[in-house]
Structure 1
Amino acid sequence: MMGGPGPMPDGPGPGSPATRQQITPGTTKRILPYAGPYRGSIGLLFFTGMTNAGLTVAIPVLLKYLIDNGIEAGNVPVVVWISVAVVGMALAGTFLGFAEAWLAGRIGEGLIYDLRVEVFGHVQRQPLAFFTRTQTGALVSRLNTDVIGAQMALTSLLTTVVSAGLTLLLVLVAMTYLSWMVTVVALALLPVFILPGRFVGRRLQRVVREHMQVNAEMGSLMQERFNVTGALLTKLYGRPDTETQLFSERAGRARDLGVLASVYGRVLFLTMLLTGSLATALVYGLGGSLAINGAFEIGTLVALAALLIRLLAPINQLSSAQAEVMAALVCFDRLFEVLDLKPMVAEKPGATALPAAGTAKATAPGITFEGVSFRYPKADDVSLASLEAFAPPAPETAGSAWTLRDLSFTVPAGQLTALVGPSGAGKTTITHLVPRLYDPSEGTIRIDGHDLRDLTQESLRDTIGMVTQDAHLFHASIRDNLIYARPDATEQDLIEACKAAQIWNLIESLPDGFDTLAGDRGYRLSGGEKQRIAMARLLLKAPPVVVLDEATAHLDSESEAALQTALKTALKGRTSLVIAHRLSTIRDADQILVIDQGSVREHGTHDELLVRDGLYAELYRTQFSRPPSKNGDAPLPEPVGPHGPVPPGAGPAPFPGLGSPGPGPGPGMLPGGPPPPPPRQRG
């Protein structure tokens, strides 16, 4: 969304692909393996259900003997003992009902727990491109709303199918035993009950899926507007009436779908009442005639009427279960849809690990790019349409243009390599390939001579540490954010890392110290404070390879100078790859790579590149040359070309995104300037 939270396109409607999608064939079979660990509980559930169903049928049959052999025969002991037996069976049935509910809940909750953990772990293995395209709210809805819906439906189904199914079977057997003629007439009414259920079930599937989609959209909208940065943007540029209207449209659609689902459910209920009334009239009409004619006794008629009531209840439950099955299948289908999305960056079988830091074989490894080309993957390869934008996506362009092309260079072991170049040249993409956030489309990236794809991802995480331009902090304490990089760190380790990152004085002055809450995305801290905490987190990890993507961009000149001093010590002996436009970092680099249009245009040291008077000299001239500042800083040295000093202002116009020449500092380029914009995906 650009330019503020104005009106947004409508979400997926009734005709959108996300809501017209049918349940994938084989979904039911995929659910069954998840029930494997609960075979014992399922067996016990069937046993209690069968026992309870037997008691349900036995009570009406006892009523027959109570009337025929007790009341009509005037046998008081028979009446008393049968009454006591009915009471005992009712109590036993109540206990078994509680047991069924507990077992069904345990099975359903356990199965959903397993599925939820699997989906969460699977999502974490997705490549970075998945998260750049996916709406967070829609993804959270899959692991929350859909999982809860599946759990509720499954728990209800386990109880219903087992108990109602067995009860229906035994009731039909008992009714047939008492009078096959009355049973056949009662069964003749079943189509009146079953056909509406089939009709409603097919339509309910689409309504449930669309309802879930709309709820996910509302969740995404609220999440975007209610987080700190979204709320700030809304307050600065938003129009409250427009925002309310936008949410009202989503909520109105959810309301209409809820009404439609309620109507479909009511159709089933009314059909059950109609069928029950017709069946009762037929049983008493036909059964009464047969009793008058002496075909059977009054007790048999009463038993048949009682069994008929017990017949309609499980039929109603099973018919309702049809709608619940559809709801559960939709939920499971949406979860399986996420599980079927294969991670593009996966650990190959038999992957080896780099030597751990601190071992005899563990030294700062070098990094080599060999003929690397890269383009960002297409949406279909990394994401799902139902997890992306509200509106149907525009024609896909990602994957058609090369971000990097035939890139070859070496980052020497234990040395500092700086990446410079115009915005969008591919610098950030290079830093994302090193920790294997993406895999190259062509070519090979090696670390310590090993292809990254042959290494375990855990060893890569242990070897490589990275600080991005927009460092992220969790909504947790400063301590929790720091030890995320090294859980076994001591209090003294935390203090030393914070001192090195020039943030200890601030933390020490806070009332709660390390236990101070950082806030949503670290928003309770300034940009520079958040960046220095992120730097302390890196120093605490102390990895052999360090990747910095303009990590000092948000710091003032004093903090930057202190942090640069700390970095010189921290980066000593480590392989470092740094994106930086600040002269202090570039001039200290052992090697500078000038990236332009996805390729290395120049490489060398600061002085060597100035002498060549190429692209680096132009960048230096337009961005770094300035007269003495008001605070008394000395002027930066004049670039020297092959024919002497390079005159300021010579060469082409400044590169887009790198600031402007003149006495004022460019954005994110020199101390005191405003923070730069977030890095673009292709930069």
Structure 2
Amino acid sequence: MSMGHGGGGAPPVFRGVDIAAQKRRNAEAPEIPDLGKRVVALFRPYIWRLAFTGFLVVAGAAIAVVPPLLVERIFDDALFPTDGGPVDIPLLIRLVAGMIGLFLLSAALGVVQTYYTATIGNSVTGDLRVKLFDHLQAMELAFFTRTKTGVIQSRLQNDVGGVSGVLTNTVTSILGNLVTVVASLIAMILIDWRLTLIAVILMPFLVLVQRRVGQVRARIAGETQESLSELSAITQETLSVSGILLSKSFNRQRTESARYQDENRNQVRLQVRRAMSGQGFFAVVQVLMSSVPAVIYLVAGYLITGNADGTITAGTIVAFTTVQARLLMPLMGLMRVALDLQTSAALFARIFEYLDLKPAISDAPEAISVSQAPGPLGRVEFRDVVFRYPDAAAGARPTLDGVSFVADPGQHVAFVGPSGAGKTTVLYLTPRMYEASGGSVLFAGTDVRRLTQESIIDNVGIVSQETYLFHATIRENLRYAKPDATDEDLEAACRAANIHHIIERFENGYDTIVGERGYRLSGGEKQRIAIARVLLKDPPVLLLDEATSALDTVSERVVQEALDAAARGRTTLSIAHRLSTVIGADVIHVVDGGRIVESGTHAELIASDGLYAELAAQQLAASRILETEATDALGRRPTDHARRRGDRAPDQPAVVLTPTGPVRVPDEA
């Protein structure tokens, strides 16, 4: 049975999204005011080079019109003199030499023009790409949680790449072809105005048809770019390490291949439509323009027959048809450029649509640095904070509702509670990655809205449950936090994070490639490298977002020891599902339904017999079951197996979970 979508039937719906409807919406180019002016403004930094390029283009186009005029003299004055005399060899040599010289000069100007055109066009393209990338970097975190990574990548690569040719060639193409067309028309009028009228009589009609063709191509271009965005999104989702692991785990490779094939088939269809749109129009233009010389010969015959004044000669006809033939390519070039501009307008609109996005979180005009804040560095305070996610349904209960607490410098404040209670939101509001809907978040005694985002982030270190490592060496991943860190700094941070002895075992040590997202390392190793990276940053405030939730018991114990070392002397806000990791916190806040429902130390909360005590009882029961099963299966204590793992330094004793928390177990002789 085939697992693909198939070609017919209802439009596919994938992961809750009506793909066909979404494509129709996205393919429509947004209305961008002053689009033409904004595109022209991209060339402003290169105005002088552009002016010089324009001079080269005009000179080259003007030179290209002269040889046909020389042809008339070659025929009428040198080869077949009108006075009936012999061939004028000296004049013929001068005229031919002049033509060859003009060809050489035109070729030289063309090489220089190409260099400047390529330099300016690619520079503008690069500037646009960097401008878009920088703008996206400034967008708030919520933008990236609601937008596919592949779609963002497509805007940077496919859309900017799609306008690259226009930025590189349009200005010179318009200028060069326009000068050639004007010069050719002037030359044709000078040769014979009557023949010129016949040659250009259909041009207004062609311009009207060209505009209609351009509108069709612009619509197809928008659909093509949206299809490319979807292809990029599928590739990014499916061929990443996480994506390929997921598809293999559920044996969905055929489904993913079918999804890619469907979109690729759509992309091929659109590319063919895009390539063929307007080809019939250009074929008609080419036939008409190519047929003009035949009509000219016919009309010239009648004119010669009806006029004995000799104004139309063989040289006149040859020169006119030569100039007219040279009119075909620049005229079609202008029409193609006009179509390209109409087509690229959809792509420029997509790019400027992103550039026009306003970050939901930005620095206030009078924002100050954390170093200028009057309060103690490391103090974090929430005052009646309310928060709703931007895409929350109208009337939905807020994620946080009136949350208040204080974390003093050096204090460890933990947050526990059921999933979805709002714990992670508390952490991400602290460095202002999200904006509070109500109330105030204070950092160093100052509302974060009055502080610069950069200075807040400089004073905060984050260790999340999803550790992100680049496909680079351990050394490069560590120096992401502090580019100028010495090898001694790296080693000290890794020793503090309890990972140095592991790194030393690798064949390449700190130069070991960790693989995409660190997949060549174990979960515990990745987390300890992430901790070492934060230690290199040395922030006064540490945010721990369930940093050990994805680890096994042994790895959790080792990583927790590294976290404890990292937290010393710092304000620490931590979230944990496993209560054993926060038993030693100075204050534990229990969050439920977006509110803090209990606060106190571990002992106080156990004694109060509330939600915290209930969670602790559930975890203790689960821990006892696991210990019993492990003992029955292995015939030994789990700590015996833990010692053989070699996942801790030799001088570190094993740790087991007991009803009162983690307890160290000394090594047996």
Q: Could you tell me the TM-score, scaled by structure 1's length?
A: 0.86
Question: What is the aligned counterpart of 2:50 among 42, 51, 57?
Answer: 42
**Map 1:520-539 → 2, pairs under 5 A:** 520-539=516-535
Q: Secondary structure at the match of 1:509?
A: coil
Q: For 1:242 and 1:585, how far apart are their aligned partners in 2? A: 41
Aligned to 2:332: 316
The verdict on how the C-alpha distance between 1:632 and 1:247 changes in structure 2, with shifts beyond 3 A counting, is: closer
- Which residue number corresponds to residue 9 of structure 2? none
The corresponding residue for 2:80 is 72
Using the alignment, how far apart are the partners of 1:153 and 1:482 within structure 2? Answer: 42
* 1:139 equivalent in structure 2: 152
Residue type at the aligned position of 1:354? V
SS in 2 for 1:144: helix
* Preserved contact between residue 375 and residue 445 of structure 2 (Cα < 8 Å): no
C-alpha distance in structure 2 between counterparts of 1:425 and 1:361, whole Å: 33
Q: Write the distance in 1 (CA, Å) between the matches of 2:241 and 2:129.
A: 28
One-letter amino acid of the counterpart of residue 334, structure 1: R
Deviations, residues 107-154 of structure 1 (Å, cap 9, x unaligned): 111111111111001111111111111111111111111111111122
> In the superposition, relative to structure 1, how do residues 627 and 247 fare at CA in structure 2: closer, same or farther (>3 Å)?
closer
Partner of 2:590: 594
Equivalent residue in structure 1 for 2:19, among 6, 11, 16: 11
Match of residue 365, structure 1, among 374, 378, 386 = 378
TM superposition shift of 1:430: 0.5
> Matches of 1:103 and 1:403 in 2, distance apart?
56
Contact map agreement 1:364 1:414 (CA 8 A) in 2: no
Structure 1 residue matching 2:504: 3-state secondary structure: helix
Shift, 1:469, TM fit = 0.9
- Aligned partner (choices 442, 446, 450) of residue 446 of structure 2: 450
Matches within 5 A, 1:404-483: 404-483=400-479
1:206 matches 2:204: no
Contact 1:500 1:563 in 2 (8 A): no
Structure 2 equivalent of residue 287 of structure 1: 300
Q: Secondary structure at the match of 2:371?
A: coil
| Structure 2 counterpart SS, 1:577 | strand
**2:450 corresponds to which letter in structure 1?**
D
**Match for residue 312 of structure 2 among 296, 303, 318:** 296
Identify the residue that residue 90 of structure 1 maps to in structure 2.
103
Partner of 2:666: none
| Structure 1 residue 218 corresponds to structure 2 residue 231 | yes
Partner of 1:58: 66
Q: Which amino acid aligns with 1:620?
A: A
1:562-600 superposed Cα distances (whole Å, 9 cap, x missing partner): 443443343222111011233443221111111111111
1:347 to 363, 374, 377: 363
Residue type of the alignment partner of 2:547:
A
The 3-state SS of whatever aligns with 1:85 is helix
SS of match in other structure, 2:432 = coil
Identify which of 351, 364, 372 aligns with 1:335: 351
- Is it true that 1:162 corresponds to 2:158 in the alignment? no
Q: Residue 185 of structure 1: CA displacement? A: 1.5
Alignment match, 2:185: 172
2:531·2:562 contact (CA, 8 Å) conserved in 1? no
Structure-to-structure mapping, 1:496-511, within 5 angstroms: 496-511=492-507
Amino acid at match of 1:601: V
> Matches of 1:565 and 1:38 in 2, distance apart?
57
Counterparts of 2:52 and 2:638, CA distance in 1: 81
> Which letter maps to 1:319?
M
Name 2:652's counterpart in structure 1: none
Shift of residue 79 of structure 1? 0.9
Amino acid at match of 2:48: G
Residues 191 and 320, structure 2, Cα contact 8 Å, conserved in 1: yes
Choose which of 551, 560, 564 in structure 2 pairs with 1:564: 560
Q: Secondary structure at the match of 1:587?
A: coil
Q: What is the CA–CA distance in structure 2 between the aligned matches of 1:210 and 1:77, rounded to whole Å?
A: 62
Instruction: Tell whether the 8 Å contact from 1:23 to 1:330 is kept in structure 2 after alignment.
Output: no
Percent of aligned pairs with the same amino acid: 39
Deviation (angstroms), 1:323: 1.9
Task: Give the alignment partner of residue 610 of structure 2, picking from 609, 614, 637.
Answer: 614
Indicate how the Cα distance of structure 1 residues 627 and 523 shifts in structure 2: closer, same or farther if over 3 A, else same.
Answer: closer
Which residue in the other structure is 1:515 paired with?
A: 511
Q: 1:300 to 1:252 in 2, by over 3 A?
A: same
Asked if the contact 1:469/1:550 (under 8 Å) is kept, the reply is yes
Per-residue displacement from partner, 1:428-452 (whole Å, max 9, x unpaired)? 0110111111110111100111111
C-alpha spacing 1:240/1:616, structure 2 compared with 1 (3 Å): closer
* Cα distance in 1, alignment partners of residues 218 and 390 from structure 2: 33
Q: Quote the offset at 1:182 in angstroms.
A: 1.2
Separation in 2 of the partners of 1:267 and 1:455?
61
From 482, 488, 496, give the equivalent of 2:484: 488
Q: Is the 8 A contact 1:150 1:327 kept in 2?
A: no
CA contact (8 A) 1:593 1:602 kept: yes
- Alignment partner of 2:323 out of 290, 299, 307: 307
Counterpart CA distance in 2 for 1:364 and 1:556 is 35
Q: Check conservation: 1:193, 1:275, Cα contact below 8 A.
A: no
Paired amino acid for 2:329: A
CA distance in 1, matches of 2:461, 2:590: 23
Residues 554 and 670 of structure 1: is their aligned pair in 2 closer, same or farther, counting only changes over 3 Å? farther
Q: SS of the counterpart of 2:597?
A: strand
Aligned partner of residue 132 in structure 1, secondary structure: helix
Deviations 1:615-649 (A, max 9, x none): 22222222235559446699xxxxxxxxxxxxxxx
CA contact (8 A) 2:374 2:446 kept: no
Q: Residue in 1 aligned with 2:8?
A: none
- Checking the alignment, whether the CA contact within 8 Å between 2:58 and 2:179 is kept in structure 1 is yes
Counterpart of 1:658 in structure 2 is none
Q: Give the letter for the 1:144 counterpart.
A: Q
Q: What is the one-letter code of the residue matched to 2:224? A: H
How much has 1:270 moved relative to structure 2?
A: 0.5
Return the letter of the residue paired with 1:518.
Answer: V
Q: Which residue of 1 is the match for residue 548 of structure 2?
A: 552
**Quick check: 92-101 or 40-49, which moved more?**
92-101
Question: Structure 2 counterpart of 1:82, which letter?
Answer: L
**Which residue identity is paired with 1:57?**
V
1:249 aligns with 2:257: no
CA spacing shift, 1:627–1:295, aligned 2, 3 Å: closer
Asked if 2 retains the 8 angstrom alpha-carbon contact of 1:12 and 1:18, the reply is: no
Which AA in structure 2 matches 1:302? V
CA-based RMSD: 2.6
How far apart are the structure 2 equivalents of 1:100 and 1:87?
Answer: 20
**1:16 is paired with a residue of what secondary structure?**
helix
Counterpart-to-counterpart distance in 1, 2:514 and 2:268: 38
Contact kept in structure 2, 1:583 and 1:624, CA below 8 Å = no
Paired with 1:585 and 1:670, the residues of 2 have a C-alpha distance of 8
Whether the 8 Å contact between 1:376 and 1:398 is mirrored in structure 2 is: no
Do 1:193 and 1:271's aligned partners in 2 also have CA atoms closer than 8 Å? no
Unaligned runs of 5+ in 2: 6-11, 82-86, 640-655, 664-669
* Amino acid across the alignment from 1:452: V
Of residues 307-316 and 342-351 in structure 1, the stretch that sits farther from structure 2 once superposed is 342-351
Distance in 1, Cα, partners of 2:156 & 2:423: 35
Evaluate the alpha carbon distance shift between residue 24 and residue 490 of structure 1 in structure 2; reply closer, same or farther with a 3 A threshold.
same
Aligned AA for 1:530?
K
Bigger shift: 237-246 or 400-409? 237-246
Which residue, out of 337, 342, 350, partners 1:326? 342
Equivalent residue for 2:398, pick from 402, 405, 408: 402
Partner Cα separation in structure 1 for residue 142 and residue 425 of structure 2: 12
Mean Cα displacement is larger for which, 190-199 or 416-425?
A: 190-199
